[in-house]
């Protein structure tokens, strides 16, 4: 079987792939692929009559892109969603994608952003040092 050369793993030259094949090519467990299907509308493999997922080449390429965004570039799920949405719209996603990378103002949950959390921690450290200083001077 011919294989198509890509920047990432080699993808066999065929139209459809079962979940096990996608798992092997992408180097991800099947449960991760199933989870990503719930998180990303762009990833929606068809189901065969047997109920098994059938991924298209486009689905496989989406999986490989998600792996790159989430595992290598450390995007959040939301950041990867935005990146895919902007890529689909043809807009450059790089400016907004920075918000989802470490060291940026990405969402951490519970209404905190990374920058806000760092500022809060610095404030607490200053307060603790002031308390420590006052206790030592007593």
> How confident is the model at residue 77, as a pLDDT?
92
Give the whole-angstrom CA distance, residue 99 versus residue 103: 9
pTM for this model (two decimals): 0.60
The full set of domain ranges for the chain reads 3-72
* Total residue length of the chain: 138
> How confident is the model at residue 27, as a pLDDT?
96
Q: Are 81 and 40 in contact (CB under 8 A)?
A: yes
What is the architecture of the domain spanning 3-72? Answer: Orthogonal Bundle (1.10)
Residues 6+ apart with CB under 8 A from 56: 15, 16, 17, 45, 46
Ranges of residues in the chain with a pLDDT under 50 are 5-6, 93-100, 103
């Amino acid at each position: 079987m011919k294989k198509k050369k890509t920047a990432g793993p080699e993808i066999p030259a065929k139209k459809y792939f079962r979940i096990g094949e996608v798992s092997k090519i992408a180097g991800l467990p099947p449960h991760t692929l199933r989870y990503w299907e719930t998180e990303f509308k762009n990833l929606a493999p068809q189901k065969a009559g047997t109920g098994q997922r059938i991924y298209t080449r486009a689905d496989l390429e989406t999986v490989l892109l998600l792996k790159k965004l989430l595992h290598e570039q450390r995007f959040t799920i939301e950041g990867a969603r935005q990146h895919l949405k902007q890529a689909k719209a043809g807009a450059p996603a790089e400016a907004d994608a920075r918000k989802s990378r470490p060291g940026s103002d990405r969402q951490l949950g519970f209404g905190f952003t990374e920058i806000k959390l760092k500022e809060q921690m610095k404030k607490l450290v200053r307060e603790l040092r002031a308390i420590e200083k006052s206790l030592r001077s007593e």
